[in-house]
Amino acid sequence: MSLQYKYKIFINIFALKLHMLELQNPWWFSEPDRDWELFEKLTYKLRPKWLGELSLRPFSLNFVVGPRRVGKTLGIKLLIRELLKRVDTPYAIFYFSCDVLEDYRELLDILNDYLRLKKRKGVKSAFIFLDEVSLVDDWWRALKFLIDRGELKNDVVTVTGSISLTIGQHFETFGGRRGKGKTVKVMPLSFHEYYGLFYDEFFLSKGVEVFESYLETGGYLAYLNGILKVEELVGLLKADLKALDRSTDLARDIMGAILDKAPSPTSFNAIAKVVGVSPHTVRDYVELFEAFHVLLQVLYLGGDGKIYPRKERKLILRDPLIVRAMELWTRRRIDRAVLYEWLVQEHLYRKFGEVFYYRNSYEVDAIAGNLKVEVKSGEKRRRYPRDVRVLNGFEVLEFLYSITQ
């Protein structure tokens, strides 16, 4: 191979990479981003509250984690539009969607290309956004290398992901390297946030109407706006499982067994017997579902105030649309009463950061903070201690609205 031919290949590769950078940063050329245009056309829209949780002072390394299609990318793009009003040059803002990259070497190349451009443009401090970085093998190695060399000391770096940012807790390997950075979890809208799309003040009659819609669409704005289908959530989950070399058939069987046992407490052993695998395998897949933000484990809290992780646990799905997706995938049906219980547990978890259950002569579905809540689908026949709040019918939606405001 001649030197001239090698040089031509190098030039072509360089031009391709430069084109990739330019294509994803149209504001460098005073052009609008397509996500801004999409946002303006949406029927239902809001500025995500989680944007206010990010650190925007250098040096910061922010992590934004959450399930696919929950609005992480659109939120970042809205923040970029706001930041463009604060910077001296548009080249001070760099965005890159990492789903086109294979490994950390390619990510490092992209970052170095931008850092060279930043230097040529005289940018002293930049906002760098790496979207879905968890799709890149060993992504963290590229960032740690540049941070340790001091290449990003004047910048604010924000990375988003739905897989490996939580699996393996890679962000913990950045101990002492995150500066003022924050970890922000992004989930589908709570019922309170969802209701706010339609009305400012809460009225029970309107609450019933909106709650029926919430049970159908969940907190996914993309679904509410007609740009997401239930089967897409199934496809994305299967793609994530395959990316981690897991069996989608086995994952479906385990999820099916979980739904069959809901809302009763269960164990890894019980699910393993149904599916025909080891309890260790069941634990692995349950923890994967949890890391994908699909499922939440609710552990047993004893009357002595101690948590008992070896006792049976409740396994709940975290959003009504996720429930619909798992029903489609596993060919199961979940009763509305089960969905009510799951919603109460999820909303309490968002409020307090933890949620447990209790069962003895009576059952308490959800314990969090100073609250003990039991969700009943029928009449309130059993007598509960005075500190247990029993919810029935419309009381559920009123509780959901009030708990996360």
- Per-residue confidence of the chain (405 residues) as pLDDT tens digits? 555 544 443 334 444 566 789 999 999 999 999 999 999 999 999 999 999 999 999 999 999 999 999 999 999 999 999 999 999 999 999 999 998 888 999 999 999 999 999 999 999 999 999 998 887 888 889 999 999 999 999 999 999 988 756 555 566 678 788 999 999 999 999 999 999 999 999 999 999 999 999 999 999 999 999 999 999 999 999 998 998 899 999 999 999 999 999 999 999 999 999 999 999 999 999 999 999 999 999 999 999 999 999 999 999 999 999 999 999 999 999 999 999 999 999 999 999 999 999 998 889 999 999 999 999 866 556 788 899 999 988 899 999 999 976
Name the β-bridge partners of 156.
60, 127
222 and 149 inside one domain: no
Domain boundary among 185, 200, 232: 185
208 and 135 inside one domain: no
170 and 195 inside one domain: no
Q: Compute how many other C-beta atoms are within 10 angstroms of the C-beta atom of residue 54.
A: 19
Residue 67 and residue 55: Cα distance in Å, rounded?
21
150 and 198 inside one domain: no
Domain boundary among 154, 170, 185: 185
Sign of CA dihedral 74, 184, 284, 359: negative
Cα-to-chain-centroid distance, residue 278: 29
125 and 243 inside one domain: no
212 and 296 inside one domain: yes
The pTM of this model reads 0.90
Domain boundary among 157, 185, 213: 185
235 and 133 inside one domain: no
146 and 201 inside one domain: no
3-state secondary structure of 374: strand
142 and 231 inside one domain: no
Which CATH number belongs to the domain containing residue 175 in this structure? 3.40.50.300
Burial (CB < 10 A; 0-12, 13-18, 19+), residue 223, is: buried
Q: Which residues contact 83 (CB under 8 A, 6 or more apart)?
A: 56, 93, 127
173 and 196 inside one domain: no
Q: Compute how many other C-beta atoms are within 10 angstroms of the C-beta atom of residue 43.
A: 9
Residue 12 confidence (pLDDT): 41
CB 237 within 8 A of CB 56: no
42 and 159 inside one domain: yes
3-state secondary structure of 385: coil
For residue 184, which amino acid is it? V
Q: Which domain holds residue 247?
A: 191-403
- Could you tell me the two tokens for 173? 């390997």
* Angle CA 167–168–170, to nearest 5: 100
Q: How many domains does the chain have?
A: 2
216 and 359 inside one domain: yes
